[in-house]
Amino acid sequence: MKNLVILISGRGSNMVAIAEACAAEGWDARIAAVISNRIDAQGLVYAQRNGIPTAVVNHRDFEDREAFDAALAQVIDGFEPDLVVLAGFMRILTPGFVQHYSGRMLNIHPSLLPAFPGLHTHRRAIEAGCKVAGTTVHVVTPELDHGPIVAQAVVQVRPDDTEDTLAARVLVMEHRLYPRALRWWIEGVLEVTVDGRVVHLGGEPQQLIGG
């Protein structure tokens, strides 16, 4: 059974979607812990109510990113993770931290990467006149919001969309996409190309939802 450690910073709706899919679909995995850098992260409440161990490592308690990441890694490793799952974890990670979890850390980002890494993705997609937007699950590498793409989901950008309406439709897709991607990882069906850049799924087309 694989141990998943999920990192959140706030609402935690992706974490809930993952926990529910894990239970409903009987994954060979368990949520070993939900860890937040914010004590007031709403998602912690769901985890506590559902018997999932939680921890908080408050970034404000540390002098710099290196010290925070070192403390965070220590707490994560206490739960013996097979996979670290970033689910709305809003911290820039140090290269050393990323290296420590190399090949065993996934992230979800609310854009069709490599477009719009960073913040305010939906606003930027609307401002750029994009006709599609979406979300990406990728393997975490030292460069922010880069790394081999595991799966993507697309939605149409409607002429009357605001940042909020677009974000809401993308979030619905995230809740379908992330559990699916994690399940593939747990089942060991993902293949990374020799150059380490591209993730395939045995020729299946389901790496794209929507579109």
DSSP letter (8 states) at residue 93: P
**Residue recorded with tokens 């980002």:** 109
Rg over CA atoms, the chain: 17
Q: Taking CB under 6 A as the rule, does residue 88 contact ligand GAR?
A: yes
Q: From the list 4, 6, 14, 84, which residue makes contact with ligand GAR (rule: CB under 6 A)?
A: 14
Burial class (CB in 10 A: 0-12, 13-18, 19+), 135: buried
Q: Is 11 in the site for ligand GAR (CB under 6 A)?
A: yes
Residue 176 as a binder of ligand GAR (CB under 6 A): the answer is no
- Assess 173 for contact with ligand GAR (CB under 6 A): no
Q: 10-45 burial string, b = 16+ CB within 10 Å, else e?
A: bebbbbbbbbebbeeeebebebbbbbbbbeebebbe
Beta bridge partners of 90: none
When asked if residue 174 is in the footprint of ligand GAR (CB under 6 A), the reply is: yes
* Between 63 and 164, CB nearer to ligand GAR: 164
Which parts of 35-54 interact with ligand GAR (CB under 6 A)? none
For ligand GAR, the binding residues in 91-150 under the rule CB under 6 A are 108-110, 135, 145
Per CB under 6 A, residues contacting ligand GAR are: 8, 10-14, 87-88, 108-110, 135, 145, 171, 174
